């Protein structure tokens, strides 16, 4: 039996829609695999009651098929589904690493990215790699149609998860189909600022680079209390705030010393609008870890 821990992730980061992603230190999924004649899946943990165990309907089943690696697979969910923290990606990334090792397939982490992304297609309808890439590789990742670029980073963040649900499919449905040239130029500048900030582990530059006037404003409408939570985080010291992935999770970038105050402020702000939430005080961190 092999065990892999794969981290939650935050994709888009405001200005990097469908391109940027980061691995988070916590929460994480843990996947255990052992060889079997055919694939079976058991799911426990956060939101497990909403996750199908039929291999044909589970991201992990798609990964097992792609690697031709049938196994008994046990998923312990630490990342709640429909959270905006890459729940399905964490399971897919963990399974890809575990099954690759179990059957000695010899694939590099980079080669596992498109395989894990195919599992994502079961959830979002399309094979996006902006969550699976950082969950596999760690740090900050930039995904294009034909490449993945990774940079180690350790920028402090707070990820606040409200007890509401936003499906990836719904969140993609509100994405604008066009943008003005001014909006595009501004977004490119912000994305470049964020990228430089990641290479320097500079939370000020990263926070500034989160700003996006194209996709994020539409997605915030799906999250009750977003504006109030954002303002509370900024007042408590956050250098920037945005929607994590498709939402409803909210990501605040900050200095390490301010994480506790920001976490408390965000939870209190959600509470003020009648929404329960929890906040993870974490940082951009490592990718999936294999335990033999």
Distance in angstroms (rounded) separating the CA atoms of residues 138 and 120: 18
pLDDT digits (tens, 9 = 90+) for 244-285: 998 999 999 999 999 999 999 999 999 999 999 999 999 999
Is 197 assigned a ligand-binding role in the annotation? no
85 marked ligand binding residue: yes
Q: What is the mean pLDDT of residues 75-79?
A: 97
Q: What is the pLDDT of residue 177?
A: 86
- Which whole number is the average pLDDT over 197-213? 97
When mean pLDDT is compared across 26-30, 55-59, 126-130, 161-165, the lowest value belongs to 126-130
Domain with CATH 3.30.70.890 in the chain: 156-283
68-77 in b/e form (b: 16+ CB < 10 A) is ebbbbbbbbb
Six-digit token string for 213: 């006037």
Please list the residue range(s) of the chain that carry CATH number 3.30.230.10. Answer: 2-151+286-291
User: What average pLDDT does this structure show over 17-23?
Assistant: 96
Please give the pLDDT value at position 223.
Answer: 94
**pTM of structure:** 0.94
Place of tokens 């200095």: 255
In this structure, what are the phi and psi dihedrals at residue 87, rounded to the nearest 5 degrees? -60, -55
Q: What is the pLDDT of residue 125?
A: 67
Q: Which fold has domain 2-151+286-291?
A: Ribosomal Protein S5; domain 2 (3.30.230)
**Percent of all residues in the chain with a pLDDT value above 70, rounded to a whole number:** 98
| Fold designation for 156-283 | Alpha-Beta Plaits (3.30.70)
CA distance 221 to 223: 6
How many other C-beta atoms are found inside a 10 Å radius of the C-beta of residue 143? 24
120 is catalytic: yes
32 annotated as belonging to a binding site for a ligand: no
92's tokens: 């897919």
Between CA 145 and CA 288 the distance in angstroms is 22
pLDDT of 286 reads 97
Dihedrals phi, psi of 243, to nearest 5 degrees? -75, 135
Average pLDDT of every residue of the chain: 94
**Rounded mean pLDDT of 152-166?**
94
Query: Does residue 90 have a known ligand-binding role?
Result: yes
User: pLDDT grade, residue 176 (50/70/90)?
Assistant: confident
Task: Report pLDDT digits (tens) over 117-145.
Answer: 988 777 666 778 999 999 999 999 999 98
* 168 is known as an active-site residue: yes
Three-state DSSP class for 200?
Answer: helix
From 59, 118, 120, 195, active-site residue: 120
């Amino acid at each position: 039996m092999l065990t892999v821990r794969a981290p939650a992730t935050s994709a888009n980061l405001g200005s990097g829609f469908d391109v940027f992603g980061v691995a988070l230190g916590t929460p994480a999924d843990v996947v255990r695999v052992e060889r079997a004649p055919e694939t079976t899946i058991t799911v426990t943990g956060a939101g497990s009651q909403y996750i199908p165990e039929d291999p044909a309907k589970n991201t992990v089943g798609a990964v097992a098929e792609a690697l031709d690696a049938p196994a008994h697979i046990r998923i312990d969910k630490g990342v709640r589904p429909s959270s905006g923290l890459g729940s399905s990606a964490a399971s897919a990334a963990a399974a890809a690493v575990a099954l690759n090792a179990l059957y000695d397939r010899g694939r590099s982490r980079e080669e596992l990215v498109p395989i894990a992304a195919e599992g994502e297609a079961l959830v979002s309808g399309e094979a996006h790699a902006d969550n699976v890439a950082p969950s596999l590789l760690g740090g900050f990742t930039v995904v294009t149609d034909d490449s993945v670029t990774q940079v180690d980073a350790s920028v402090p963040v707070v990820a606040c998860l409200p007890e509401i649900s936003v499906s990836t499919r719904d969140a993609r449905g509100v994405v604008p189909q066009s943008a003005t040239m001014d909006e595009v130029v501004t977004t490119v500048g912000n994305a470049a600022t964020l990228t430089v900030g990641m290479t320097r582990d500079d939370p000020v530059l990263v926070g500034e680079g989160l700003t996006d006037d194209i996709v994020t404003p539409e997605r915030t409408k799906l999250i009750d209390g977003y504006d109030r939570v954002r303002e509370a985080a900024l007042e408590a010291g956050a250098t920037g705030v945005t929607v994590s992935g498709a939402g409803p999770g909210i990501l605040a970038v900050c200095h390490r010393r301010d994480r506790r105050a920001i976490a408390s402020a965000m939870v209190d702000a959600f509470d003020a609008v009648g929404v329960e939430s929890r906040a993870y005080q974490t940082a951009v961190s490592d990718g999936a870890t294999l335990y033999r």
